[in-house]
Amino acid sequence: MKKQANPQGKGLVPVLESLAQSRALIPVAPKHIQQISSELFTSMFVLHSQFQFKPVVGKKYWLYQRGQQFQLSLISPAEWGVNGFGLYVGECVMQQDITWSLLLDDDAAKDESLMNYIETKRDEFEQAMNSAATIDTLLPFYLGELPFYQRVYASALANSLKNSMVKSGIEGLSYSQALNNLPATS
């Protein structure tokens, strides 16, 4: 059986239109490196989950874990009923600047396996941040391994965070240089 060249039905024009729409009018504020790092990690954690819908800014979505797979769903835990869809991880919302928030469920926060997984991913992310020549090189402008919507929003996320970095004066800096740029606390 021959694999379809474009299984999601996305031609070049719709792809370019989606990218342009996802970047248009994104309100971007200057952010310090710790906020950018946290938002990048959380957003990429969500965007690496499975979903096949176009997320909407400000709408609640629910993240589940089934085995080693994560699934972003339109269906809340209450709607799934008793059997559920897997381990309910938490509530996700895409913010105006295309970053994602994840509010961990209390039970998920007590799940040792999940927390170890997240900690391992966070350690890998921090190692990448510390070893990158500049933070800019870690921004997900193009991640070919991601499905369509995840790839579009990862690119928009990269654009948003890059603009925040420009406004903060940390574009082109390494992670340690950006940390040294933080204002002193009193």
Other CB atoms within a 10 A radius of the CB of residue 38 amount to 14
**pLDDT tens across 27-49, in order?**
778 898 999 999 999 999 999 99
Question: What's the domain count of the chain?
Answer: 1
Establish if 150 belongs to a structural domain: yes
Full domain range(s) for residue 129 = 19-176
Establish if 7 belongs to a structural domain: no
Q: What pLDDT is stored for residue 186 in this prediction?
A: 44
**74 pLDDT tier (thresholds 50, 70, 90):** very high
Establish if 145 belongs to a structural domain: yes
Establish if 12 belongs to a structural domain: no
- How many angstroms separate the CA atoms of 33 and 135, rounded? 9
Q: What pLDDT is stored for residue 84 in this prediction?
A: 72
Between vectors from CA 27 to CA 13 and to CA 125, what angle results, nearest 5°? Answer: 85
Establish if 90 belongs to a structural domain: yes
Establish if 26 belongs to a structural domain: yes
Q: What pLDDT is stored for residue 6 in this prediction?
A: 52
Over range 56-82, report the average pLDDT: 90
Q: What pLDDT is stored for residue 114 in this prediction?
A: 95
Establish if 181 belongs to a structural domain: no
Handedness of CA 50, 93, 115, 34 (dihedral sign): positive
**pLDDT tens across 77-132, in order?**
988 876 677 899 999 999 999 999 999 999 999 999 999 999 999 999 999 999 99
Residue 140: how many CA atoms within 13 Å on its side-chain side?
Answer: 26
Six token digits for residue 19: 């990218």
Establish if 143 belongs to a structural domain: yes
